[in-house]
Chain A
Amino acid sequence: MEQGDESLRILLIDDNHDHARILQWAFKKTGRKDEFTYFDDGSSALQYLKTTDSGGNIRPDLIFLDLNLPRLDGREVLRLLKSEEGTKGIPVIIVSSSEREEDVRKAYELGASSYVSKSSILDDVNPVLQTIQAYWGSAAKLPLRK
């Protein structure tokens, strides 16, 4: 449980800069010291992740992924993340403005660890954090976590 209080390296992918900014602010506001790496499109994020092991980039602990992305759609990004050996162990939380049932279901099918709506994060970031902590708590002992 102590690990949940640690600052996390979070990769944030969202085309909406405002949303990215507000999200980071909401996290920071809680007093956490998480480290965000931000991309506004899926391809660059994937490119970045490819070099985490060899090219010196730091492998993120968590990925926040928006679904509604230009060009490479969020669902496609998720699918690629989960199909790559190097990235499939990183938990992905979908952060979307959509509350559509099929979007949620699809995300879980593709291997998302959680799904939160942007509105709810704005209203209260705590449930999200709890989700993260819960995940962190249960995932701490897994061998993937090096």
Chain B
Amino acid sequence: MRSAIVDLPIDTAALAAEVSRATNGATLLFIGTVRDVNDGRSVTGIEYSAYRSMAEREMADIVREAREKFATTDIVVEHRLGELAIGDASVAIAVAHPRRGAAYDASRYVIEQLKKRVPIWKLEHYVDGTREWVNANGQHVAEPAR
């Protein structure tokens, strides 16, 4: 069981390997990636920022909750910050469990809670050179004053 905020590319295969054990019949790897269009606009990249200490604490809480709800300690989640390009992994969640049902449920729980609670923000960069903060529903919220 582990969670981390990272600044370097996420090694997704290493995360899957980290949770894989002989007692587990199911290993799931969820990878969230930067996509090239959001809300109808062409995106060239995203800058992720966070209230880092609180984000680390919330992620640790979420993983602990998932362990209790779904009875597995084999959960690892990493979220990356900084400048990410199209296709880069921003978040990865590896879950392993003796049974696939609980593995899917635990993986879903972690990503949904992360998106609701973990204080991380994204500033989208567009083809026309502009940048905007994105809210939880994927919509643009404000023009940054810089």
To the question of whether A and B form a pair in one complex, the answer is: no
